Amino acid sequence: MDREEEFLKFVEEVKKCSKCRLYKTRKNVVVGDGPINSLIMLVGEAPGYWEDQQGKPFVGAAGKFLNKLLDLAGLDRGKVYITNVVKCRPPGNREPKPDEIEACKPYLDKQLNLIQPKIVCALGNFATSYLLQKYGFPIQSMGKIHGKIFETKNLKIIPLYHPATALYKPPMKKVLEEDWKTIGLKLKKLNLKEVFK
């Protein structure tokens, strides 16, 4: 089986998942979106209302702001793979619970293995804790580490504030915009031309 076939099989498997309580209230499983050979992966927290309705990540208000941030970095949304720590919407957009993250994390692990991105942007605290822990880094507060690059052998992890932060804390908009502009410059230096517009 080639990588593409394996990926399609994986997506079909996740769409049928009932490993945690979130399967009962979801409309759609939001597995992820983007080319499977992407050099960059973005990992959010969990689907919200519109994502659950459409089965796609970051299509609601936070997604609109994410589009602006990608623009500021010069990145092409069509060339990055976007997913979440948890693939089904928590009711009322509550935070995902530890046992839900535990049940769902093999899917994110599988996505990382199959896609093998060079860069993962961790959007928000849930993605940041999961990814830093997975690769053996100590957890630190977002205030200290946002926009920094954590290097592993094959992967660079960049923790960032969740785009939705700007929607409920307007002064954070500038922080997010500056971080994404800087990331655009850093990625240009890394010669990742394929991901730019």
Task: Please state, in angstroms and rounded to a whole number, the distance separating the CA atoms of residues 70 and 66.
Answer: 6
The window from 84-92, 133-141, 159-167, 171-179 that contacts ligand SF4 (CB under 6 A) reads 84-92
Q: How far is CA 26 from CA 16, 48, 101, 149, 170, in A?
A: 11, 10, 15, 34, 30
Provide the mask over 20-49, with x wherever binding to ligand SF4 is found by CB under 6 A and - wherever it is not: x-xx-----x--------------------
The window from 81-89, 126-134, 135-143, 185-193 that contacts ligand SF4 (CB under 6 A) reads 81-89
Applying CB under 6 A, does 57 fall inside the site for ligand URA? yes
Binding-site partner at residue 88 among ligand SF4, ligand URA, none, CB < 5 to 8 Å by type: ligand SF4
Binding-site partner at residue 104 among ligand URA, ligand SF4, none, CB < 5 to 8 Å by type: ligand SF4
Q: Which residue is nearest to ligand URA (CB)?
A: 44
Q: Which of residues 123-162 bind ligand URA (CB under 6 A)?
A: none
Binding-site partner at residue 84 among ligand URA, ligand SF4, none, CB < 5 to 8 Å by type: ligand URA
* Minimum CB–partner distance for residue 163 and ligand SF4 (Å): 21
Applying CB under 6 A, does 86 fall inside the site for ligand SF4? yes
Spatial contact of 147 and 158, defined as CB atoms under 8 Å apart: yes
Applying CB under 6 A, does 80 fall inside the site for ligand URA? no
Binding-site partner at residue 87 among ligand URA, ligand SF4, none, CB < 5 to 8 Å by type: ligand SF4
Task: Please state, in angstroms and rounded to a whole number, the distance separating the CA atoms of residues 166 and 61.
Answer: 11
**Residues at the interface with ligand URA (CB under 6 A):** 44-48, 51, 57-58, 60, 62-63, 84, 164
